[in-house]
A and B are shown apart, each in its own frame.
Chain A
Amino acid sequence: QVQLQESGPGLVRPSETLSLTCTVSGYSISSGYYWAWIRQSPGKGLEWIATIYHSGYAYYNPALKSRVTISVDTSKNHFSLKLRSVTAADTAFYYCAREISMRQVYAGHFDYWGQGTLATVSS
């Protein structure tokens, strides 16, 4: 059974960088599929952030692309998100998920999700 678990600090100061990691168990990232970050806030609902393949090939939501980096470490079977220059608007639950990608359109649906981690931006 595929399981995903997010980890990272729950509190980030404004203008700093939010760093999150998603550890995958029950499946080797190197075996395939795409892996994504999605966030959910009361104000903006569900928002896809970025997606990565084990090769490092990645695509991003244009609304966040200038501030986001997604990376993968196949040796640790995890992938990570960095969101720079955060503001209160970035306060949200952050989920990692496995994406069934329609690669030709740089989008997909999500069949396995982590439980989510709340990231709060506050001084």
Chain B
Amino acid sequence: IVLTQSPGTLSLSPGERGTLSCRASESVRDNYLAWYQQKPGQPPRLLIYGTSSRATGIPDRFSGSGSGTDFTLTISRLEPEDFAMYYCQQYGSSPGTFGQGTKLEIK
């Protein structure tokens, strides 16, 4: 399954709402879709799994939604530490695959 993330770059200001999209080339079984955040020099960090479940320790300003082929990560009010790369990953079928990423940058 090929995952396409949009936009490639999203320029926003702290306090604004961020909406990131992930579209799959075919339906993701059981909505097994995860989101990760990655900062320079660090490994990816799990934010969301199962489309909408927050991982341990993830603030509730992060939320995930969607089904089938269209999924969204929403950050309700951006904090300075939220500016990073974001990747979606599907694990509904093998091999699990990642999107190419969205860069969330400070406007």
- Interface residues of A, Cβ cutoff 8 Å to B: 45-48, 59, 61-63, 95, 97, 100, 102, 105-111, 113-116
> Once the chains bind, are B94 and A113 in contact (CB under 8 Å)?
no
B62 at the interface (CB under 8 A from A): no
Are A113 and B43 CB-contacts (below 8 A) given A100-B49, A105-B29, A107-B32?
yes
Main SS at interface, chain B: loop
> Once the chains bind, are A106 and B87 in contact (CB under 8 Å)?
no
Query: In this complex, which of A113, A114, A116 has the most chain B Cβ atoms within 10 angstroms of its Cβ?
Result: A113
Within 8 A of A (CB), among B55-101: 55-56, 87, 89-101
Q: In the complex the two chains form, what is the Cα distance from A38 to B92 in whole Å? A: 17
Q: In the complex the two chains form, what is the Cα distance from A110 to B93 in whole Å? A: 15
- Interface residues of B, Cβ cutoff 8 Å to A: 29-30, 32, 34, 36, 42-46, 49, 55-56, 87, 89-101
Q: In the complex the two chains form, what is the Cα distance from A48 to B96 in whole Å? A: 7
Query: In this complex, which of B42, B44, B45, B94 has the most chain A Cβ atoms within 10 angstroms of its Cβ?
Result: B94
Query: In this complex, which of A47, A62, A107 has the most chain B Cβ atoms within 10 angstroms of its Cβ?
Result: A107
Task: Give chain A residues whose Cβ lies under 8 Å from the Cβ of B36.
Answer: 110
> Once the chains bind, are B46 and A109 in contact (CB under 8 Å)?
yes
> Once the chains bind, are A110 and B44 in contact (CB under 8 Å)?
yes
> Once the chains bind, are B95 and A105 in contact (CB under 8 Å)?
no
11 A-B pairs within 8 Å (CB atoms) are namely: A46-B98, A95-B44, A102-B32, A105-B32, A105-B93, A107-B95, A109-B34, A109-B46, A109-B49, A111-B46, A115-B42
Query: In this complex, which of B34, B46, B55 has the most chain A Cβ atoms within 10 angstroms of its Cβ?
Result: B46
Task: Give chain A residues whose Cβ lies under 8 Å from the Cβ of B46.
Answer: 109-111
> Once the chains bind, are B93 and A107 in contact (CB under 8 Å)?
yes
